[in-house]
Amino acid sequence: MKSVQKQAPWGLARISQRQTINFGIPNKYLYADRAGEGVDVYVLDTGINTEHVDFEDRATWGKTICRGDEDKDGNGHGTHCSGAIAGKKYGVAKMAKVIGVKVLRDNNFGSFEDVARGIAWATRSHLKNVKDKKRGFKGSVINMSFGSKKSHALDRAIHRAVKAGIHICVAAGNENADACDYSPANSKLVVTVGATTADDSLAYFSNYGKCIDIFAPGVNIQSTWIGSKRAVKTISGTSMASAHVAGLMAYFLSLQPELGSDFAVSSMTPSKMKELLFSVATKDAISDLPEETANLLAYNGGGSSDFPSFSDSSIYPISVTDETSFKSDPNPSPMALSWKDVIEKNVQAIVKKVGKDIKTLVVSADLTST
């Protein structure tokens, strides 16, 4: 069921519509009302202000990796990202759970060794949920809104997490440089996110290049903060852009169909998630992009919970000219399909099985151009 958040933050409004934001019209965020439900998002950062009202008791403290640090966000960065991921007012996936894994100290610095340990902790937690068949569990996301030089230890930890089925989203970096020079942004296993402005331009600070997978709003983003249960702050960075897409991953995971039980979590692999994000994204909307940088802007489907209906990829509607339906017949009559010319696009026919009697369905086609 589609919901509408009126007077929404501009970033949320932008990822739920194809058009550039018009600030003369109140922003609306269109979303599926159960978006994020059943999904755990591990926020590897400075921690989370778990008592903030915008989390509605869906934020928990997972683990403090930094030795000697408190179980508290003394910086605000992690809380801000968490709000953009799953906050009631500020978040993309409003039913997701966010779990704070403190890998950065209150000065916003940390070590790759601590980050790798944080990923390992999140991976173990995820695998336990899978093993225990946690009721309603639909998957896990890791968000990492930081970066530095390349790290083999971090690469290995990422590989193990993705192999376990965790979806990882990372910030591209704020150096106005090639994202391929930084880790974890240069990993092919993660979704690397650059930042855009409200007028769909590349943010002046955002990294770019062929290691960027997708862009999302990252300038003047308002979200949850530290200091009180209602604190908010407006900041900018690819960290905020990454948080939007991490929320979008949780959003899409929550919409996946159940595979025969409440416990199924295997239908959306990390590689399939990437494909979905790319196929659904708004194409060629961003200006000022350097060469070899993907011109894709994150999109949630405008509130739809039906993936094929909101993708603007190479799936085109076709009309059935023969209304005869398939039945349990060893020699069914051919069914004719007609469609408008799609030039060089692939044509896909989606066949829906009704009932439980059909065990095998063989489909073949003769394609005729007219």
Q: What is the tens place of the pLDDT at every residue in 345-362?
A: 444 455 555 555 544 555
pLDDT at position 259 over 50: no
Dihedral of CA atoms 34, 35, 37, 41 in degrees, nearest 10, equals -160
Dihedral of CA atoms 66, 71, 76, 77 in degrees, nearest 10, equals 40
Q: What is the DSSP letter of 199?
A: T
- Evaluate the omega torsion of the peptide bond into residue 308 and state whether it is cis, within 30 degrees of 0: no
pLDDT at position 336 over 90: no
- Report if residue 230 sits inside a domain: yes
pLDDT confidence tier of residue 152, bands split at 50, 70 and 90: confident
pLDDT at position 260 over 80: no
| 38/310 Cα distance (integer angstroms) | 22
Helix (H, G, I), strand (E, B) or coil at 6: strand
- Report if residue 362 sits inside a domain: no
- Report if residue 23 sits inside a domain: yes
- Report if residue 78 sits inside a domain: yes
pLDDT at position 322 over 90: no
pLDDT at position 105 over 70: yes
- pLDDT number for residue 275: 94
Measured in degrees and rounded to the nearest 5, phi and psi for residue 232 equal -135, 160
pLDDT confidence tier of residue 266, bands split at 50, 70 and 90: low
- pLDDT number for residue 1: 78
- pLDDT number for residue 344: 41
pLDDT at position 184 over 60: yes
| 24/8 Cα distance (integer angstroms) | 14
Domain membership of residue 242 as a residue range: 2-309
CATH number at residue 127: 3.40.50.200
| 266/113 Cα distance (integer angstroms) | 29
Q: What is the tens place of the pLDDT at every residue in 201-246?
A: 999 999 999 999 999 999 999 999 999 999 999 999 999 999 999 9
Q: What is the tens place of the pLDDT at every residue in 41-67?
A: 999 999 999 999 999 999 999 999 999
The answer to whether residues 91 and 83 touch, using CB atoms and an 8 Å cutoff, is yes
Domain count, the chain: 1
- pLDDT number for residue 135: 87
- Report if residue 364 sits inside a domain: no
The answer to whether residues 105 and 47 touch, using CB atoms and an 8 Å cutoff, is no
Residues with Cβ within 8 Å of 81's Cβ and at least 6 positions away in sequence, in order, are 43, 45, 143, 145, 223, 239, 240, 242, 243, 246
Q: How far apart are the first and last CA of the chain?
A: 39
Q: What is the tens place of the pLDDT at every residue in 291-308?
A: 899 999 999 999 876 654
Instruction: Tell me the Cα Rg of the chain.
Output: 22
- Report if residue 126 sits inside a domain: yes
- Report if residue 317 sits inside a domain: no
- Kindly write down the DSSP assignment for every residue of 283-296, as one continuous string: ES--BSPPTT---E
Helix (H, G, I), strand (E, B) or coil at 214: strand
pLDDT at position 13 over 90: yes
pLDDT at position 319 over 50: no
Average pLDDT on 62-84 reads 97
Task: Kindly report the average pLDDT of the chain as a whole number.
Answer: 86
Looking at the annotation, which residues are catalytic? 45, 77, 239
- Report if residue 321 sits inside a domain: no
- pLDDT number for residue 367: 54
- pLDDT number for residue 24: 81
